Structure 1
Amino acid sequence: MSADAADLKELSTTLEGIEAVMDVEALRAQITELETEAARPDLWDDVEYAQKVSSRLVHRQSELRKVMSLRQRLEDLEVLYELGADEDDPDSVAEADQERVALKKELDAFEVRTLLSGEYDERGAVVTVRAEAGGVDAADFAEMLMRMYLRWAERHGYPTEVYDTSYAEEAGVKSATFRVDAPYAYGTLSVEQGTHRLVRISPFDNQGRRQTSFAGIEVLPVTEETDHIEVSEKDMRIDVFRSSGPGGQSVNTTDSAVRITHVPTGIVVSCQNEKSQLQNKAAAMRVLQAKLLARQKEQEQAELDALKGSGSSWGNQMRSYVLHPYQMVKDLRTDYEVGNPEAVLEGQIDGFLEAGIRWRRQQDAETA
């Protein structure tokens, strides 16, 4: 068997595995059901439910189109190689080689999606970034990470909504919470959970010394009505205050920001980025419900390996960003690394996400 034929066989095997996991016929049946539901005359009487139906329909149609497109491209590629061989056409073979490389890259990325089969993997994500040890450098690093994830979402066309930003006094943020609305955002970003470390010459040190700082990432699934996370009013303490911006200055003339304390658990969430107190309260409630869902899941399983991600619970170092004395970003779990921190901090993190998802699947298989 030639090298080209072996590569094509490998691509075909990968695609067959993807088709089997996705269950293409079941996917078609789901699309038919959702199309019927979307055609109901009274669907939009419940706007939130209608949006969910529409979103799921669009997502599943996109998934089907993607897998069908990959199958067609693979068949076309086989024909292109045959033509090149039959007609002894090096240009056709060169074109086929280029397509084979591109197709393998897309299949590998799509295969990662099929590894996301957790209970909440398909949902959107609520991400919280917190400055940890390192003073002002840690706050600056936390803001850099927040920007990194928002840029990643922007690159993929995923809508985001910032719920709350607590600015540090000198620079950066103490913490920030935002939502990423995209299919499988939670399953994808959950591998980012843990402590990230930055090593650089501190821009805040007059003597130009090297500084190590830390920031923590927490990722939770967006809650849905089916989760049955009920929060009693008597269990909450709600405070209102004026929104503040960088440096602590007030950015609002009314008490529109909302802080909710869940008394039984001590969980505190806040939101100050919406225009009205009502909107901020609703957003804060969504974050609180996500945190309570995570807490409930942990209690049910009696270990921090469900929503917290195996081997990456809060406080464990999982990635290093080194800007001095050399340039490198390295994941400490997967050993995946790149030598261009600037690109990573601009949101080019797909390689880390794919490696993390594969690593987690392997860990799950070993402990099963």
Structure 2
Amino acid sequence: MSGDFAADLKDLAGKLTQVESVMDLDALRAQVADLEEQASNPNLWDDPEAAQKVTSQLSHRQAELRRVTDLRQRLDDLEVLHELAEAEGDNASKAEAEGELTRLAKEVDALEVRTLLSGEYDDRNAVVTIRAEAGGVDAADWAEMLLRMYLRWAERHGYPTDVYDISYAEEAGIKSATFKVAAPYIYGTLSVEQGTHRLVRISPFDNQGRRQTSFAHVEVLPEVEEVDHVEIPEKDIRVDVFRSSGPGGQSVNTTDSAVRITHLPTGIVVSCQNEKSQLQNKAAALKVLQAKLLLKKKEEERAELDALKDSGSSWGNQMRNYVLHPYQMVKDLRTEHEVGNPSSVLDGEIDDFLEAGIRWRKQVNAA
């Protein structure tokens, strides 16, 4: 912001106009009208799965349209409010207008970032897997801290989550966890989190209080849909069932309802234990396996192109440092974005990192 209210308001209105153009509001209104017509069909719920998809898409598109039209209305109202405050010399109203301008600028920036998500699967739900890597018990604890960070982030935004599987470590923390986040463009948003996250701190598990560096890997996949056609022949998988367990191996289920699926041709293993029945767990595990196989297929298709790129430009490896000692800082190694308050980041305040990552990726892909 330049401090010149009228100029800042004009610039913001221009940015919103660009966003509206990219979003193609006429096409969005047409989509909403078409989905509303489908939703009003009295036979819609004859196919519950298809009905759920229609109603979910309708809700998302309506929210998207409402979001941008509300921003435009607030900008128009703000111009009137500021003009009245200037004419009457009302300092309180001027301060209110300036505060609203700041809020609107942040919301328009966030909407602009949304328009940068134009990848093939960006508008889908995300399936996230976190794995402890080097660092022993500290790494397991670190993986659990990251799990909490992402779940808190989703909670802050009101995004539904579904934890498919958690494998607890013996002493503390987790070996791995897989969960889904459901909301429009969540895969595109969270995909910039993929890579290795590094933590530096005084280890709470070291009797001598030494500094420890530990690592955890984050994998982000798009949720598969029927149109993806990822067929998995029964002969290509081995299904094992076992009892769900919690921390320390304590049984939390008296039946063998947890499911582990091994894809024999690739060796990929997935598991799910959060559902009540074996069939539900198998269905959820198969969806995760399909997502992994879909990603593998796309990676193979891009392999020749990727081989031509400088491996040093890859953003899929170590991508962020979290330093708790000897100083306090979280820094993204790709975007250079950093903050000096790790506790807020670990409590789910990662929007600025996500936005910076999405903008950075767009620049890299355009280069």
Range that drifts further, 5-14 or 281-290: 5-14
State whether residues 298 and 304 of structure 1, in contact with CA within 8 Å, keep that contact through their aligned partners in structure 2.
Answer: no
Q: Tell me which moved more, 268-277 or 131-140.
A: 268-277
Where does structure 1 lack aligned partners over 5 or more consecutive residues? none
Amino acid at match of 1:295: K
Partner of 1:312: 315
Residue 41 of structure 1 and its aligned partner are, at CA, apart by 1.2
Partners of 2:89 and 2:236 lie apart in 1 by: 77
Whole-angstrom distance in 2 between the partners of 1:126 and 1:136: 25
Q: Deviations over 1:251-270 (max 9, x none)?
A: 22221111111111111111
- Tell me which residue corresponds to 2:276: 275
* Alpha-carbon separation, structure 1, partners of 2:253 and 2:6: 65
Per the alignment, residue 64 of structure 2 pairs with 63
Instruction: State the match for 1:95 in structure 2.
Output: 96
How many pairs are equivalent? 360
Q: Which amino acid aligns with 1:195?
A: T
2:357 counterpart of 1:364: no
Q: Look up the equivalent residue of 2:248 and give its one-letter code.
A: G
Q: How does the TM-score come out when normalised to structure 1?
A: 0.95
Gaps of 5+ in 2: 307-312
Matches of 1:356 and 1:151, distance apart in 2: 19
Partner amino acid, structure 2, of 1:312: W
Q: Corresponding residue for 1:260?
A: 261
The code of the aligned residue for 2:31 comes to: Q
State the shift of 1:303 in Å.
5.8
- Structure 2 matches for 1:1-368, cutoff 5 A? 3-302=4-303, 311-313=314-316, 316-366=317-367
2-side partners of 1:201 and 1:2: how far apart?
43
Distance 2:113 2:156 in 1: 18
Q: How far apart, in 1, do the equivalents of 2:206 and 2:121 lie?
A: 43
Counterpart CA distance in 1 for 2:155 and 2:78 is: 32
**Counterpart contact for 1:202–1:210, Cα < 8 Å:** yes
Quote the Cα distance in structure 2 between the aligned partners of 1:295 and 1:217: 16
Residues 258-309 of structure 1 show CA distances to partners (whole Å, capped at 9, x for unaligned) of: 111111111111111211111110110010000011011111222697xxxx
Q: Distance in 1 between matches of 2:314 and 2:148?
A: 25
Change (3 A) 1:2 1:266: closer
SS at match of 1:150: helix
Greater displacement, 77-86 / 265-274: 77-86
* Backbone CA RMSD of aligned residues: 1.5
SS in 1 for 2:63: helix
Cα deviation digits, residues 111-164 of structure 1 (max 9, x gap): 111111111000000000000000000000000001110111111111111111
3-state SS in 2 of match to 1:133: coil
Please report how far the alpha carbon of residue 365 of structure 1 lies from its aligned counterpart in structure 2 after TM superposition: 1.1
Matched-pair contact (CA < 8 Å) for 1:243–1:251: yes
